[in-house]
Amino acid sequence: MVAEDRQPVPDEPDVDLTRPNAARMYDYYLGGDAHFAADREAADRALARFPHAAGSARANRAFLDRAVRACLQKGIRQFLDLGSGVPTVGNVHEIAHHHDPEARVAYVDNEPVAVAHGDRLMAENPLVTVTLADLRNPREVLAAPGVAGLLDFRQPVAVLMVAVLHFVSDEADPTGIVATYREALPAGSALVLSHISDDQPTEELAAPHRAVAEVYRTSSTPAHLRDYPAIAALFTGFEVLAPGVVDARHWRPDEPRALEQDPCGFYAGVGWLPRPSA
């Protein structure tokens, strides 16, 4: 049974809670509690069309964990998480601080409820900030106090765009957006990215993603499906680490048997800006 919706707290910005939102729906898939009736109703409609949607969300979250660890292994200790969503178990700072308590994490989202939750949870942590901003405006994001005041862009930074660019329309130019962030990064930085797609091995695997995208068109965050070449092109300018841009379940799985599982529908990868050779 789902608890009744809480009342927004005084410091939480006004937001239309009658329209579902992708960040809060994702929180619902992951078992969080920062969602409202409209979010649950839309998420349940998505689950009716694609019963494995929650499992796909968890697989994408597990990719985030592995990718952050890979960045740490590359020596990166700063993270800019764009479209970070509602704080749930397994956030970037939890992963990073498990390995390096001094890692810095700047969260950015344009969903007021997500940011309000994050502000309350991270208020006492000087190494984590939460910023209300739109990733589609890179210069605004990069200049925000919670980003520019925490991260040192003279040192490597991992930019995370996990399960977010499919909410950016073609008209907004997602490739150009990624390029603008890339231009702000020093050598040794990384791009961690995943993106939902109906470009799947079979029509049986592709159809549910189109059905779920139809549900999201009724939300404040419509989804835009892209094919594999368009997603791979987002890594332009980066050296894509092995095993390349692959299904999120198949990106360096902790358990080899994961390679035998059906695709979860998220293409995922990690790109690196190599340091100049000596």
User: Which two structure tokens, joined as six digits, stand for 224?
Assistant: 């835009």
Question: Of the spans 21-25, 72-76, 110-114, 207-211, which averages the highest pLDDT?
Answer: 72-76
Neighbour count for residue 65 (Cβ, 10 Å): 16
Mean pLDDT check: name the lowest of 23-32, 216-225, 249-258: 23-32
pLDDT digits (tens, 9 = 90+) for 112-138: 888 887 888 787 899 999 999 999 999
For residue 90, pLDDT over 80 is answered with: no
Tokens linked to 162? 């996990």
Residues 201-208 have a mean pLDDT of 88
Using the predicted structure, report yes or no on whether residue 80 has a pLDDT greater than 80: yes
**Nearest-angstrom CA–CA distance, 183 and 262:** 36
Beta bridge partners of 246: 268
Nearest to 104 by CA among 182, 157, 161, 180: 157
* Banded model confidence at residue 274, pLDDT cuts 50, 70, 90: confident
pLDDT confidence band for 3 (50 / 70 / 90): very low
5 or 113: which carries more pLDDT confidence?
113
Which letter, b or e, does each residue of 112-132 get, where b requires 16 or more Cβ atoms within 10 Å of its Cβ? bbbbbbbbeebeeeebbbbbb
Q: Mean per-residue pLDDT for 195-199?
A: 94
Walk me through the domains of the chain, giving residue ranges and CATH numbers. 66-203+223-272 (3.40.50.150)
Residue with token string 């993603």: 209
Residue with tokens 């985030």: 64
> Mean per-residue pLDDT for 235-247?
97
Q: What is the pLDDT of residues 135-184, one digit of tens each?
A: 999 999 999 999 999 999 999 999 999 999 999 999 999 999 999 999 99
Contact 78, 60 (CB under 8 A): no
Residue 156 DSSP symbol? -
pLDDT over threshold 90, residue 26: no
**Residue 242 burial class via C-beta count within 10 angstroms: exposed 0-12, middle 13-18, buried 19 and up:** exposed
pTM summary value: 0.86
